[in-house]
């Protein structure tokens, strides 16, 4: 089996070299057939990388433990559905997966880019793609070969890392990796235009569409990762500002900036140079991500793909900086933005401020990632830069971005007046003020959180107001009221898709504010039949169920959640308060009668022998207000279960944002033509 | 320019305002959890003791709980752990000495990028007004020339 995999990798390498040579020679010698054969050879690389991937997956399905990668990442009792996860669970396989995505998506791009642009730049596009793909192929063949065989074939494999046996793993790593590698596509489209001397705006449509795709995939990938962390890692969090998370976030932020400023180029032919810089930065940051992920100089909880290839990826990153900015500087004298700004109060300048804020968050995050390395090298003292730092420095800027989300879209293009803008903002501001006052009246003392909630309300009302006015004017022009809203959305899909994405960001903000500012946590150990009371929940530990398998020692606790009336326990509550705790334990005889059952929880705890590693599944009871979240820390020898319980207000809004984000992205992407044909 | 300065002043004041907010008034248990998520687990990769189940973390959490219940201030507790495990046990750099750079840099990045973007806006706008002024003077001049020509033509006739 391993031979087939190796052969297809070598074949892919040869095809890449061939297409690189033939498109260049073909265009220089004006032999059209040679150029076309080069292009077809490039298409074939997606077949060879697919063949290599299928070979590896086939080896997993057949438990072919003679291949080292298969023996390291699966075993005979593994659920066969997880073969797909095992495929990219380690360094070698994930590189092969990246190669597969790169070759397939780049081939599709070459196939489908508009003819006008294809004509002028196809040679450069194929060349850049080939070189990048060649890098991954060579790394796979010489540095991290997934088809390396073992001399002594083991009877059973080591099994998969237990943290990866979770449904989110079917989508989180592949989407994240696909998102990062497909940044290559808009970058290549843009840089090829520069190389081939096409200084028109031909490239921006293709670049925008591919950028939205890769940005959307990366965004959803990060969100699913957050959900995975929330349900399995057992620390009650979803985003830890871990270096690996940061290196995925940074290119996403830059791409977000790009998607905003590309609109200015599309509409007003401005920011041309800046947009190229943004794509260059995004591409370089994606390479930084690859480097840090595969043996970079930082510690992270995501060490699934760590390897000794750090140096190789570092060199490739440096090479991509030199290449991207070299081409840019070479062509800079011939790049010109057409028009100049008419007024400070214009959509153009608000988008410029938006770009500035995104780049600032990116730069500060980058600084946080490299500061420990810098400190280590400069003075040999190690420091830790983790979540508290990032929350503190990035939090306020993210809040400003949210505020701008409400103001920016109401400012018209070209120029406007204060009066015009304030007219749009009066109603949202009143609502924001009302939210603030209401929170103050119900006794909230967390000023930042209250201000953040008001801002979320402000932006939401600002969007709804625009939608309302837009559809109302259509209704007045004689359209049916129930159609006017959808027709308005259909009329400018990039814009309204963008608004829907903004709403998803508001949902995300709700979840972040709720969990960051209002979370209540408590650690307890319960005997069977005992209950713990926290907030207005009573959680009763009913029984312990054993779930041992050959590779793990596991149990879960059956628990029932009751809604309580706090009057029944006022004495106990005061007692706990005096002790400085937020929960207390009740024995069976102390319970009040007739409490209503509102749910069941099954927190699960397992210890994996081969990995010397514990893994948990939190018990979660969600409502739109808050999550009751129970992490089983350990099942103690004396029969008690030790639990970390938390109330995570508004946590579910983090996950609600996901489908809304996807919907908005799809609407922004949906081509205009097809709908018109459909009518 | 006054408008621009006003806006940048607002942005900067929001940032500084939020940095100056005091630590919350929390129950001992919440204070304990907050501190636990600021203290790193010495034997894990990039995890705080709050999220870690290693024996060291469990012991450290017990110690932390005792210290919190002894009504020690947050800063005293941080110093207690720094004395025993070194400065990198705290999840964010201290705000003294060289580590101050870690905190100042974001402010520098922010101010620098803000000035660059405001400068860009200003210069893009200026080149526009210059152009406008130029066309306006040109138009005036052309009008004047046309008037002169008309007068001359009248005289000739």
Question: What tens digit of pLDDT does each residue of A352-404 get?
Answer: 999 999 999 999 999 999 998 888 888 888 888 988 899 999 999 999 999 99
In sequence order, the β-bridge partners of residue A642 are: A525, A634
Asked if A582's CB is within 8 angstroms of B27's CB, the reply is yes
**At how many degrees (to 10) do helices A347-379 and A243-268 cross?**
150
Interface test mutation site (partner B, options A236, A238, A388, A534, max chain B beta carbons within 10 A)? A388
pLDDT in tens, A503-537: 999 999 999 999 999 999 998 999 999 999 998 89
pLDDT of residue A649: 94
Distance (Å, whole) CA A484 – CA A473? 9
- How many CB contacts within 8 angstroms connect chain A with chain B? 158
**At how many degrees (to 10) do helices A272-293 and A310-331 cross?**
170
User: For B29, which of A344, A353, A581 is closest by C-beta distance?
Assistant: A581
Measured in angstroms, the CA of B141 and the nearest CA of chain A are apart by: 24
Domain co-membership, A514 together with A536? no
Q: In this structure, is residue A336 part of a structural domain?
A: yes
Asked if B106's CB is within 8 angstroms of A393's CB, the reply is yes
Domain co-membership, A106 together with A209? no
Give the residue-averaged pLDDT of B121-147.
Answer: 76
For residue A399, give the 3-state DSSP assignment. helix
Q: In this structure, is residue A67 part of a structural domain?
A: yes
Q: What's the whole-number average pLDDT of chain A?
A: 90
Percent of chain A with pLDDT over 70: 96
Does the CB of A612 have a partner CB in chain B at under 8 Å? no
Domain co-membership, A109 together with A229? no
Instruction: Assess contact for A539 and A586: CB atoms under 8 A.
Output: no
User: For B46, which of A300, A580, A633 is closest by C-beta distance?
Assistant: A300
pLDDT of residue A559: 95
User: For A582, which of B30, B46, B50 is closest by C-beta distance?
Assistant: B30
Contacts of B109 in chain A (CB under 8 A): 360, 363-364, 367
Of the candidates A152, A150, A215, the one whose C-alpha atom is nearest the C-alpha of residue A178 is A215
Return the exposure string of A321-356: e unless at least 16 CB atoms fall within 10 Å of the residue's CB, then b.
Answer: bebbbebbeebeeeeebeebbbbbbbbbbbbbbbbb
Find the helix or strand (DSSP H, E) in which B109 lies.
Answer: helix B100-156
Closest-CA residue of B relative to A235 is: B51
Residues 360-389 of chain A whose Cβ lies under 8 A from any Cβ of chain B: 360, 363-364, 367-368, 371, 375, 379, 381-389
Q: In this structure, is residue A113 part of a structural domain?
A: yes
Query: Does position B23 have pLDDT exceeding 80, yes or no?
Result: no
Domain co-membership, A513 together with A524? no
Measured in angstroms, the CA of B34 and the nearest CA of chain A are apart by: 9
Asked if B92's CB is within 8 angstroms of A392's CB, the reply is yes
Contacts of B127 in chain A (CB under 8 A): 340
**Alpha-carbon distances of A589 from A21, A543, A564, rounded to whole Å:** 83, 17, 16
Contacts of B92 in chain A (CB under 8 A): 384-386, 388-389, 392
Give the residue-averaged pLDDT of A124-150.
Answer: 94
pLDDT of residue A235: 66
DSSP A97-156: HHHHHHHHHHHHHHHHS-HHHHHHHHHHHHHHHHHHHHHHHHIIIII--TTPBPSS--SS
Domain co-membership, A498 together with A568? no
**Alpha-carbon distances of A390 from A71, A240, A356, A364, A483, rounded to whole Å:** 39, 9, 18, 8, 45
Biggest CA-to-CA distance, chain A:
93
**Alpha-carbon distances of A229 from A83, A160, A599, B27, rounded to whole Å:** 21, 17, 23, 27
For residue A51, give the 3-state DSSP assignment. helix
Domain co-membership, A9 together with A157? yes
> What are the domain boundaries of chain B?
24-92, 99-157
Asked if A367's CB is within 8 angstroms of B93's CB, the reply is no
Q: In this structure, is residue A66 part of a structural domain?
A: yes
Domain co-membership, A530 together with A512? no
Query: Does position B17 have pLDDT exceeding 60, yes or no?
Result: no
Distance (Å, whole) CA A492 – CA A513? 32
Q: Which CATH superfamily, name and number, covers B24-92?
A: Cytochrome C biogenesis protein (1.10.8.640)
How many Cα atoms sit within 13 Å of A512 on the Cβ side? 19
pLDDT of residue A675: 43
Domain co-membership, A469 together with A525? no
Contacts of B27 in chain A (CB under 8 A): 577, 580-582
Domain co-membership, A70 together with A183? no
Q: In this structure, is residue A390 part of a structural domain?
A: no
Closest-CA residue of B relative to A243 is: B46
Domain co-membership, A33 together with A157? yes
Contacts of B3 in chain A (CB under 8 A): 344-345
Domain co-membership, A253 together with A152? no
Closest-CA residue of B relative to A647 is: B30
Distance (Å, whole) CA A229 – CA A384? 21
Domain co-membership, A224 together with A290? yes
Asked if A340's CB is within 8 angstroms of B127's CB, the reply is yes
Query: Does position A35 have pLDDT exceeding 60, yes or no?
Result: yes
Find the helix or strand (DSSP H, E) in which A542 lies.
Answer: strand A537-546
For residue A648, give the 3-state DSSP assignment. strand
Does the CB of A585 have a partner CB in chain B at under 8 Å? no
**Alpha-carbon distances of B130 from A193, A349, A585, B124, B136, rounded to whole Å:** 32, 19, 76, 10, 10
pLDDT band per the 50, 70, 90 thresholds, residue A199: confident
Total domains in the fold of chain A: 4
pLDDT in tens, A571-587: 888 888 888 888 999 99
Which structural domain range is residue A222 located in? Answer: 173-365
pLDDT of residue B1: 47
Distance (Å, whole) CA A631 – CA A2? 43
Closest-CA residue of B relative to A388 is: B92
């Amino acid at each position: 089996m391993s031979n087939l995999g190796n052969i297809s990798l070598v074949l892919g390498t040869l095809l890449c070299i061939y297409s690189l040579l033939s498109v260049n020679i073909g265009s220089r010698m004006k032999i059209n057939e040679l150029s076309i054969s080069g292009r077809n050879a490039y298409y074939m690389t997606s077949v060879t990388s697919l063949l290599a991937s299928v070979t590896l997956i086939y080896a997993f399905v057949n438990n072919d433990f003679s291949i080292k990668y298969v023996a390291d990442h699966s075993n005979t009792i593994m659920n066969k559905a997880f073969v797909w996860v095992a495929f990219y669970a380690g360094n070698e396989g994930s590189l092969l997966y990246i190669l597969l995505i790169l070759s397939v998506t780049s081939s599709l791009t070459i196939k489908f880019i508009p003819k006008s642009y294809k004509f002028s730049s196809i040679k450069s596009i194929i060349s850049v793609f080939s070189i990048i793909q060649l890098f991954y192929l060579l790394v796979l063949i010489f540095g991290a070969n997934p088809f390396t065989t073992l001399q002594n074939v083991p009877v059973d494999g080591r099994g998969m890392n237990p943290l990866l046996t979770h449904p989110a793993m079917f989508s989180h790593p592949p989407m994240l990796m696909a998102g990062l590698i497909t940044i290559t596509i808009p970058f290549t489209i843009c840089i090829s235009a520069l190389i081939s001397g096409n200084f028109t705006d031909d490239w921006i449509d293709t670049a925008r569409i591919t950028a939205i795709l890769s940005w959307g995939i990366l965004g959803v990938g990060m969100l699913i990762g957050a959900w995975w962390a929330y349900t399995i890692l057992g620390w009650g969090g979803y985003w830890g500002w871990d270096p690996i998370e940061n290196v995925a976030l940074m290119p996403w932020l830059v791409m977000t900036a790009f998607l905003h400023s590309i609109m200015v180029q599309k509409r007003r032919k401005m920011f041309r140079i800046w947009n190229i810089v943004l794509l260059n930065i995004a591409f370089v940051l994606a390479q930084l991500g690859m480097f840090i992920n595969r043996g970079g100089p930082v510690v992270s909880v995501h060490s699934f793909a760590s390897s000794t290839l750090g140096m190789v990826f570092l060199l490739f990153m440096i090479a991509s900086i030199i290449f991207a900015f070299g081409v840019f500087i070479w062509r800079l004298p011939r790049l010109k933005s057409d028009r100049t700004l008419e007024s400070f109060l214009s959509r153009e300048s608000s988008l410029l401020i938006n770009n500035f804020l995104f780049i600032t968050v990116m730069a500060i995050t980058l600084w946080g990632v490299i500061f420990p390395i810098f400190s280590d090298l400069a003075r040999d003292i190690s420091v830790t830069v983790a979540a508290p730092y990032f929350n503190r420095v990035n939090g306020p800027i993210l809040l400003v971005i949210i505020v701008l989300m409400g103001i920016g879209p109401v400012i018209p293009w070209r120029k406007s007046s204060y009066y015009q803008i304030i007219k749009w903002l009066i109603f949202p501001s009143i609502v924001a003020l009302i939210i603030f006052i209401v929170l103050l009246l119900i006794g909230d003392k967390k000023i930042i959180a209250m201000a953040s909630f008001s801002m979320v309300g402000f932006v939401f009302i600002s969007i709804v107001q625009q939608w309302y006015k837009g559809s109302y004017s259509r209704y007045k022009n004689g359209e049916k009221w129930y159609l006017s809203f959808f027709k308005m959305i259909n009329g400018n899909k990039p814009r309204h898709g963008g608004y829907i994405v903004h709403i998803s960001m508001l949902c995300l903000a709700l979840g972040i504010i709720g969990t960051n500012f209002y979370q209540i946590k408590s650690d307890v150990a319960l005997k069977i039949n005992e209950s713990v009371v926290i907030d207005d929940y009573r959680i009763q530990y009913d029984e312990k169920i054993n779930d041992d398998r050959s590779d793990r020692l596991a149990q879960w606790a059956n628990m029932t959640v009751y809604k309580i009336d706090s009057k029944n326990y006022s004495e106990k509550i005061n007692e706990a308060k005096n002790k400085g705790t937020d929960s207390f334990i009740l024995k069976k005889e102390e319970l009040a009668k007739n409490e209503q059952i509102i749910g069941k929880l099954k927190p699960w705890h397992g210890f994996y022998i081969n990995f010397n590693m514990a893994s948990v599944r939190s018990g979660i009871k969600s409502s739109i207000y808050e999550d009751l979240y129970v992490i089983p820390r350990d099942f103690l020898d004396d029969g008690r279960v030790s639990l970390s319980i938390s109330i995570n207000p508004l946590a579910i809004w983090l996950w609600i944002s996901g489908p809304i984000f996807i919907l908005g992205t799809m609407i922004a992407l949906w081509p205009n033509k097809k709908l018109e044909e459909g009518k | 320019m006054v408008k621009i300065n006003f806006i940048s002043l607002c942005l900067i004041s929001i940032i500084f305002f939020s940095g100056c907010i005091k630590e919350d008034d929390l129950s001992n248990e919440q204070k304990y959890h907050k501190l636990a998520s600021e203290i790193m687990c010495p034997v894990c990769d990039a995890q705080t003791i709050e999220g870690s189940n290693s024996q060291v973390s469990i012991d450290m959490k017990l110690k932390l709980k005792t210290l919190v219940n002894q009504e020690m201030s947050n800063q005293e507790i941080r110093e207690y752990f720094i004395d025993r495990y070194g400065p990198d046990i705290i999840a964010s750099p201290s705000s003294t000495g060289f580590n101050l750079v870690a905190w100042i840099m974001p402010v520098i990045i922010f101010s620098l990028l803000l000035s660059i973007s405001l400068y860009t806006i200003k210069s893009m706008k200026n080149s526009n007004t210059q152009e406008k002024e130029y066309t306006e003077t040109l138009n005036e001049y052309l009008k004047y020339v046309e008037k002169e020509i008309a007068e001359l033509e009248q005289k000739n006739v």
